[in-house]
Amino acid sequence: KAGVTQTPRYLIKTRGQQVTLSCSPISGHRSVSWYQQTPGQGLQFLFEYFSETQRNKGNFPGRFSGRQFSNSRSEMNVSTLELGDSALYLCASSFSGGANTGELFFGEGSRLTVL
Amino acid sequence: AQSVTQPDIHITVSEGASLELRCNYSYGATPYLFWYVQSPGQGLQLLLKYFSGDTLVQGIKGFEAEFKRSQSSFNLRKPSVHWSDAAEYFCAVVLNYGGSQGNLIFGKGTKLSVKP
């Protein structure tokens, strides 16, 4: 069974640009969550999608958005990039959704560098 | 505010020695508790979880953790560390929303180095 796949793995952008990251969950998983990991702030929850609906959202500005498609694949978008957006963005999937119902399976992440 | 504290940023142990990584949480209700491990350049892998019941839980790779409500702690242990255990370890909690979905709140992590 294939794991969670995130693309691209590495990317470099400049301030003011926008970026789209993609996540393909494990087959059969309907929930996709996104996390930002930085050395200073650690791992922070961005949002969770379940059956194409955003079910939960962390405390991030509106520049961070996401969506989920009917095949459960998810994308997140960051507009008007700032230097502080440089981070490892991790996607996690689960069958029923939510960390309190079972295990989250994480991808290897997309490392974004903003210059 | 909800928080998870891992007091040790970096720990070095000798191969074969025992290991204990500390985790404390602050919540009013009983949370669901997790330990994840992250190897360099990798995503996170679940080691073990505690939802209810027996307060000593067994996980993968020979790890175990004990939930102590009185101390608001969920410490991770391993009797004999292997060189391959070198990684970063994250404690995480989520409130028991009783059916609705919550998100994981992670500690800042403890980096484990293993001496040969």
End-to-end CA distance of chain A: 37
End-to-end CA distance of chain B: 41
Note the pLDDT tens digit of each residue in A55-112. Answer: 888 889 999 999 999 999 999 999 999 999 999 999 999 886 555 555 788 999 999 9
A98 contacts on B by Cβ (under 8 Å): 94, 97, 100-103
Weakest mean pLDDT among A20-29, A97-106, B8-17, B37-46: A97-106
Distance separating alpha carbons of residues A23 and A25, to the nearest angstrom: 6
Q: Strand (E) positions, A39-86?
A: 42-50, 53-57, 64-68, 74-78
Weakest mean pLDDT among A11-25, A47-61, B91-105: B91-105
Residue B65 contacts residue B6 (beta carbons within 8 Å): no
Question: What's the confidence (pLDDT) of residue B99?
Answer: 44
Distance separating alpha carbons of residues A96 and A92, to the nearest angstrom: 12
CA atoms in the 13 A half-sphere facing the CB of B100: 4
Weakest mean pLDDT among A45-49, A73-77, B109-113: A45-49
Residue A45 contacts residue A54 (beta carbons within 8 Å): no
Of A95 and B82, which is predicted with more confidence?
A: B82
Helix (H, G, I), strand (E, B) or coil at A113: strand
- Contact pairs from chain A to chain B, CB under 8 Å: 68
B94 contacts on A by Cβ (under 8 Å): 98-100
Question: What's the confidence (pLDDT) of residue A70?
Answer: 95
Give the closest-approach CA distance of B114 to chain A in angstroms: 21
Residue A98 contacts residue A92 (beta carbons within 8 Å): no
Residue B19 contacts residue B72 (beta carbons within 8 Å): no
Q: Which residue of B has its CA nearest to A97?
A: B101
Question: What's the confidence (pLDDT) of residue B100?
Answer: 44
pLDDT mean over B35-52? 91
Q: Which two tokens stand for residue B77?
A: 């242990």
